[in-house]
Structure 1
Amino acid sequence: MNSLRNLHSVCRFSLRTLSTKEQTKPAFNFKLAGGVSEAIASGKLKRRHHPGSLGVGTVTLPDKLNQAVLTYLSSTEYSPKHLENDGKILSTRLWSRHKPLEDDQLRQKIAAIEAKIVEKETIDLDAPEMREEVRKRLLDSRMSKMHERMKREIYNWKPFQYDKYMSAVYMLARLVPDYAALVKILSEIRSRDPAFVPLAMLDFGSGVGSGMWALDGVWADLCKEAVCVDASPDMNNLADTLLRGGDPENPRQVRGGGTFFRQFLPMSDALRYNLVLSSRSLLELPDMDTRLKIIDILWRKTSGYLVIVEAGTSAGFRIVQEARDYVLNLTQTTGEEEVTCGDSHIFSPCPHDKICQRFNFSRIPLCNFSVNYKPLTLTKNQNPTSDKFSYVIIKRGARQQNHQEEWPRLIQQPLLRKRHAICRTCTSYGRLTELISTKRRHGSEIYRVCKYSNWGDRLPIVLPEPTEIPELDQSEDDSSENDESEQKKEILH
């Protein structure tokens, strides 16, 4: 794992916030991609459903899975009210999750806290004339103050333990939003790569099987082998029970193809899978060494697509970027030479393989997306809600050289103003660019394409040369209140 150590500096560099705050003007000189304008004008293509549109609407659980959940819960003695209350608590804890501190970071924080406390002390504890019992009492007082400040200022990361009850709580709280996010992500692969067939899937941190169900929801009856890896045996048992319609005694599974459950990730890369998935699992690993080791194993098991998904928070985005940068900079040692593995590229969401510019121009480094879903509830019907997630899809092979691969990605919902639409995008040149479309300047077709596009879509437009495109100034980022709360948490922890 020499490459693992060698890439620590690369990952750390790409994950720090730079101070560049160059103000530039937005871009106006762009046009619709070839063929799109004609198709819209002729009526063959609707503006709301242009080729870059990736919406999946409001996602609901498949009837088989929904019924399996209800069947399982009806066979238990768990109180529906307690399950839902504990589910809300668990969702809040998962959303506010942060990366565990590395050992050197922890030591630096403790040293800084101790230095602040010592600075305020008026008595020199090293004075030779001080009695030993007084020195001990003052040292105990110092340690007590340190512990209090450490509780407030240092994030106390602990792994979640999922027993039978907590697995049911997780199922009720996270099954639907996790399933919905994966359906949206995998639907993009199917839309942009219709020839891809996921015959075999590996799901690391599979939980209650949301990845397996999402795969079947996008590619029905095509996956012949699904390997689900989760450290919790109770999680695996629950996922298997849902496959049996909610009845663990049912000998038949409701999905076709073979499904296998494992507690430990196989270290060998002899077996490869078309699709390798890690959904909200890397943030549950104790340190960077472990995360990079897992990413290394997952990538070596990938023959098609590697999908990494985390919560749509600043911490989740940083974990995704860590995985992204590691795979893109992965090196293999051959004798005394290091050879860069140039057999991968970012399929989504980035239209480029450069360092993410959100770390250059954002006060809060964060790139996330949203999906609507109908929540699972036992006590009352609820209206559709949404969930935010950060993700990256890495594909084996070199990037295809065509205009569709260069379409910019909307990183925020378009801002609709009088007579113009403002689209904040990530472009194939590795820049964040603000595109402003007006009817007068661009025509009604491109204006309405921008107007009816949504956060996360790809805009089917052709950009000029990179030297002619200004970068998006995000020194005054006007994201959401959730982003501001994330910044406060980063300061506190």
Structure 2
Amino acid sequence: MIILRASFQFARRVKQLKTSLINDEKKQDIDKISEGFKESKKGDDKEEIKQNQQNLDNVQKKVFEKKFIKSSEFLMACSHQPALSLPEEILKKARKVFSKYPPDELREASYKYMRMYQLLHALEKPLSITIKRNNLFENPENLQKLTEKKVIHLYKKGTSEQELLDKIFERRQKKDLSLDRLNSAEQKLEEFHNFASAIDYDQILTVSYFLRKVPGSFAVSQKIMQEIQKRNPNFNPQSMLDYGSGIGTWAWSFKKLYPDVKNIVCVEPNLYMRKLGKFVSQDYIKDIKFYESLSHTLELSYDYFDFISIAFVLEEINHPEARFLALQSLWAKLSENGIMILACPGSPTGFRFINDFREWILKQKGFIVAPCQHQQTCPMAKEGFQWCHFKQMFTAWPKDVFPKYIYENTAVTEKFSYLAVSKKNWIQEGQEWPRITFDPLKRGKHLILDMCTEQGKLERRIIAKSHGKEGGYYEAKHLNGGDLWRFPKLPPSKVGKKRRKQPVKIL
């Protein structure tokens, strides 16, 4: 028995040695394969980086690439985008700016700023759009009384018209500006130049504007510019002018889409805005230029611009004549092949300014580029109980840039109204498709869509499940307000109601 036990132990030991040798050989083979794989992987790292960059550029397309959505027409019809964020160069400058102020004090100052800003456009009802007014861009009487009481004074104290004219004359003499290049609208606009706006920006209010309004304004500018670039791929601007630019938010998005353009000009009357804009933009846009007024741009070698934007400015200008003169002078500076954009908050006040600008442009024989599919008057302005507006999500400031509370959202929605016009009739892709005005209403086996057609009329269509892929039922679930509808008009049910079977009589 002892001999048998010893022989069994010896056999087990031999078997263990054999398995250990086999495992060592396997490990050596695996190490050789892994070393070879690492050497090959080092050569493929550069190709993988390029592929990742291409994937990041095509994120929007990959979101909608599903079994039933692969067509380029669907991507052309979609205008909504994922949440947008500021460039990394701007975030680095924002860290330095916000670190100079205590977070609680800056947050409280920004809340006060937002209350003042909301008073400029949040007190109006949609019915005021249909009220007859004497002049364009004029506030109704009830709104004007409220703003005069609650918002800051209209004009700076201690300045007369003669003093303003003397200052204008001295400024022109210092810069040796030729008066022949000034049009009548710019001359009159200079008289309003020294008048205070509704919000008198000082240093703390300027930083509060940077904290609260800049991320949303950047997301809105990105969406509008990408919409124009999608509809007009041949548009190649060589110069850009932003009136009431603030710290240059729209110039950042313009530089992101058109990186080769060097002629970028920002006009901002406020001194604190210009200083902060130069500091924040110096790493992202090296060739940006800030001016105090439009007359100072006469020192440039060119008089006309291919791209002009005036965004979130009209609600802060108190006098209606100054609003009209600003738009009139900018329209005169637009080139024949250029595009001009007016953007306002997505409120009844903002839509009223957009509608007044639309009526004036049609009288000037201009053409509407976006978002409308027609060249007639706006059908929503006739009703008075709704207004045309869009929305875009953006990411809030990261925690390392500005601290936030737990209940604050990381993704915020900005509502806006806009109108892009030109002096030339652009041939756009998808111009014959109607635009969805509001988000689809999802019901049982059908959807309800409100549309603004190419004939300038409002329609409500029912997209039933019986329409299938050809009628756009499956695609409509992934569309939002502002997108285009590329399918033909069909009745609510393509097949018709099925006949109910007669009940069986029980004898």
TM-score grouping bracket, smaller chain normalisation: 0.5 to 0.7
How far apart are 1:232 and its partner, in Å? 0.2
Give the direction of change, closer, same or farther, for the CA distance of 1:157–1:396 in structure 2 (3 Å limit): farther
Specify the code of the residue in structure 2 equivalent to 1:86.
A
* Match among 355, 373, 384 for residue 351 of structure 1: 373
Distance 2:489 2:307 in 1: 32
* CA deviation string 1:113-159 (max 9, x = no partner): xxxxxxxxxxxxxxxxxxxxxxxxxxxxxxxxxxxxx6699775751
Give the direction of change, closer, same or farther, for the CA distance of 1:268–1:240 in structure 2 (3 Å limit): closer
* Match among 261, 264, 274 for residue 236 of structure 1: 274
Distance 1:309 1:273 in 2: 18
Give the direction of change, closer, same or farther, for the CA distance of 1:458–1:313 in structure 2 (3 Å limit): same
Task: Name the residue aligned to 2:306.
Answer: 274
Note if contact 1:420-1:436 (Cα within 8 Å) is conserved in structure 2. yes
Note if contact 1:403-1:462 (Cα within 8 Å) is conserved in structure 2. no
1:412 aligned counterpart, secondary structure: coil
Specify the code of the residue in structure 2 equivalent to 1:218.
L
2:228 aligned counterpart, secondary structure: helix
Distance 2:481 2:110 in 1: 28
**Are residue 254 (structure 1) and residue 284 (structure 2) matched?**
yes
How far apart are 1:428 and its partner, in Å? 0.9
Task: Name the residue aligned to 2:485.
Answer: 459
Task: Name the residue aligned to 2:350.
Answer: 316
**Are residue 79 (structure 1) and residue 99 (structure 2) matched?**
no
Distance 1:355 1:231 in 2: 33
* CA deviation string 1:388-443 (max 9, x = no partner): 0111111231253x771121111111111111111111111011111211121354
How far apart are 1:356 and its partner, in Å? 0.8
* CA deviation string 1:166-213 (max 9, x = no partner): 111100111100001111111101111112123211000000111011
- Runs of 5+ consecutive residues of structure 2 not aligned to the other structure: 1-64, 154-197, 492-507
Identity of paired residues, percent? 23
Give the direction of change, closer, same or farther, for the CA distance of 1:449–1:63 in structure 2 (3 Å limit): same
Instruction: For CA contacts below 8 A with separation 6 or more, give which structure has more relative contact order.
Output: 1
Specify the code of the residue in structure 2 equivalent to 1:450.
A
Specify the code of the residue in structure 2 equivalent to 1:392.
L
Task: Name the residue aligned to 2:90.
Answer: 65
How far apart are 1:44 and its partner, in Å? 4.2
Note if contact 2:83-2:393 (Cα within 8 Å) is conserved in structure 1. yes
- Larger-Rg structure: 2
Distance 2:383 2:411 in 1: 33
Structure 1 residues 139-178: aligned runs within 5 Å: 158=153, 159-178=198-217
Give the direction of change, closer, same or farther, for the CA distance of 1:155–1:106 in structure 2 (3 Å limit): farther
Moved more, 179-188 or 435-444: 435-444
Structure 1 residues 52-451: aligned runs within 5 Å: 52-74=77-99, 76=100, 78-98=101-121, 158=153, 159-219=198-258, 221-244=259-282, 253-256=283-286, 258-266=287-295, 271-303=303-335, 304-330=338-364, 342=365, 344-364=366-386, 366-376=387-397, 378-380=402-404, 382-400=409-427, 404-441=430-467, 443=469, 446-451=472-477
* CA deviation string 1:298-335 (max 9, x = no partner): 111122110111111100111111122212212xxxxx
Note if contact 1:305-1:394 (Cα within 8 Å) is conserved in structure 2. yes
* CA deviation string 1:332-351 (max 9, x = no partner): xxxxxxxxxx3x31111111
Give the direction of change, closer, same or farther, for the CA distance of 1:44–1:156 in structure 2 (3 Å limit): closer
Give the direction of change, closer, same or farther, for the CA distance of 1:259–1:46 in structure 2 (3 Å limit): closer
How far apart are 1:266 and its partner, in Å? 2.9
Give the direction of change, closer, same or farther, for the CA distance of 1:42–1:317 in structure 2 (3 Å limit): closer
Note if contact 1:197-1:222 (Cα within 8 Å) is conserved in structure 2. no
Distance 1:441 1:43 in 2: 16
RMSD: 3.3
Distance 2:67 2:94 in 1: 47
1:60 aligned counterpart, secondary structure: coil
Distance 1:307 1:108 in 2: 28
* CA deviation string 1:95-115 (max 9, x = no partner): 3314999999999769xxxxx
Q: TM-score, normalised by structure 1?
A: 0.67
Specify the code of the residue in structure 1 equivalent to 2:329.
I
Task: Name the residue aligned to 2:27.
Answer: none
Task: Name the residue aligned to 2:189.
Answer: none
Note if contact 1:345-1:398 (Cα within 8 Å) is conserved in structure 2. yes
Note if contact 2:119-2:147 (Cα within 8 Å) is conserved in structure 1. no
Note if contact 2:373-2:453 (Cα within 8 Å) is conserved in structure 1. yes
Task: Name the residue aligned to 2:163.
Answer: none
Give the direction of change, closer, same or farther, for the CA distance of 1:427–1:266 in structure 2 (3 Å limit): farther
Note if contact 2:310-2:341 (Cα within 8 Å) is conserved in structure 1. yes
Give the direction of change, closer, same or farther, for the CA distance of 1:70–1:109 in structure 2 (3 Å limit): closer
